[in-house]
Amino acid sequence: MAKIGLIGAGSWGTALSKLAADNGHEVTVWSIVKEEIEMLQENREHLDKLPGVKLPENISYTTELAAAIEGKDMCILAVPSPFTRSTAAMMKPFVKEGQIIVNVAKGVEEKTLMTLSEIIGQEVPQADVAVLSGPSHAEEVGKGMPTTIVVGAKTKETAEYIQNLLMNKVFRVYTSPDILGIELGGALKNVIALAAGIADGLGCGDNTKAALITRGIAEIARLGMTMGGKPETFSGLTGIGDLIVTCASMHSRNRRAGILIGQGKTMQEAMDEVKQVVEGVYSAKAAMGLAEKYGVEIPIIEQVNLVLFEGKPAAQALDELMLRDKKIEISSGWQV
């Protein structure tokens, strides 16, 4: 049995707290929102974010950050990506040298173009920072539906330690050294999922969805490999796997927001209606910044940015993607 601190009590944090508790670990969940903690204590259920998922009795709840960090074998950081830096800064005084922090949010910081693990490493330099990502809707993990996921860490020892703590018969955990590739896949797929939702909102069909997923992973891999990510990562669970689930499911807040935008709502109206953090909105500009920095073409993500931030009509953006200059999908192998 391990002692695990869960920093953040949203849908994903709640689902992971149940998973860890079901595995027999001692779990402490922290939220900055007092009312959220009181609700979890009283109902043993997150009525807003994960209704219908009853939580085990061996989970404790607190608004005191120190209580969720000090003496813990591992902390899981599960706050939305825009709050990763501020939360990590609050955590720093309580984190001991070499303590494991597993980040489970997905995003890239717009101003610095840093991944979330880089941000945590900067704010909490004494921590052993790892990441957990993959096709894993909180709603399904909370209900015990079979799920596969990847943990990325600097050392094999840390990766296998996290794998052993979290893996069970419905939650299969793989390991990888490619932290960068895992994080880029997780962040950028949210932007492509916005595009998939926008296409749904415009009334497009399965052909369009398949095209966006296929060409979307090409963009993600092109940028990610230029930055140093491994090609296997983008063809794996945290690449094409996470992209498929986020583009295809109504559990996806990014897809749901995209549908509303495709139907004519503004970005802000869509985010207000979804009532959750739409992380693809926060990663879209950062993705363009990375593409410009590394000289990589990402036309789908570029059009999403124009729709989100410059008021470009979604139908016009789709037309321009379809009418781009002719391209070759595979260039080698022609007979001369």
pLDDT given for residue 190 in this prediction:
93
The reported pLDDT for the residue numbered 259 is 95
Dihedral sign for Cα atoms in the order 177, 126, 8, 194: negative
Output the CA torsion 87→88→92→96 (10° steps): 120
Task: Report which listed range, 269-283, 298-312, 316-330, is most confident.
Answer: 298-312
Asked if residues 163 and 2 have their Cβ atoms less than 8 Å apart, the reply is no
CATH 1.10.1040.10, the chain: domain bounds: 180-322
Query: Tens digit of pLDDT for each residue in 231-251?
Result: 999 999 999 999 999 999 888
Instruction: State pLDDT tens for residues 111-167.
Output: 999 999 999 999 999 999 999 999 999 999 999 999 999 999 999 999 999 999 999
Residue 304 has pLDDT above 80, yes or no: yes
Q: How confident is the model at residue 328 (pLDDT cuts 50, 70, 90)?
A: confident
Residue 83 makes CB contacts below 8 A (sequence gap 6+) with none
Mean pLDDT of all residues in 6-19 = 97
Rounded-to-integer distance, Cα 180 and Cα 186, Å: 10
Torsion sign over Cα 143, 148, 151, 156: positive
Mention the CATH class of domain 180-322.
mainly alpha
**Tokens 């849908």 found at:** 11
* Residue 326 pLDDT: 82
For the annotated catalytic residues, the residue numbers are 189
Instruction: In the chain, list all ranges with CATH 3.40.50.720.
Output: 3-177
φ/ψ bin of 279: left (φ > 0), alpha (ψ from -120 to 50), beta (otherwise)? alpha
Token pair recorded at residue 291: 């593409």
Task: Report the topology of domain 3-177.
Answer: Rossmann fold (3.40.50)
Q: What are phi and psi of 254, to 5 degrees?
A: -70, -45
Q: In the predicted model, what is the mean pLDDT of residues 10-36?
A: 97
Separation of alpha carbons 189 and 244, rounded Å: 9
pLDDT score at 336: 66
Does this model's pTM top 0.85? yes
Burial of 193 (0-12, 13-18, 19+ CB in 10 A): buried
Instruction: Please say if the pLDDT value at position 267 is more than 90.
Output: no
By CB atoms closer than 10 A (0-12, 13-18, 19+), residue 222 is middle
% of the chain with per-residue pLDDT over 70 = 100
**pLDDT tens-place string over residues 51-91:** 999 999 989 999 999 999 999 999 999 999 999 999 999 99
In the predicted structure, residue 46 carries a pLDDT above the cut 70: yes
- To the nearest whole number, what is the mean pLDDT of the chain? 95
Band of the pLDDT at 275, cuts 50, 70, 90?
Answer: confident
Distances (CA, A) of 163 to 39, 124, 151, 308: 30, 22, 7, 38
> To which residue do tokens 């995003």 refer?
107
Identify whether the C-beta of residue 2 lies closer than 8 Å to the C-beta of residue 73: yes
pLDDT higher than 90, residue 276:
no
Of 327, 318, 33, nearest in space to 203 by CA: 318
Write out pLDDT tens, residues 163-211: 999 999 999 999 999 999 999 999 999 999 999 999 999 999 999 999 9
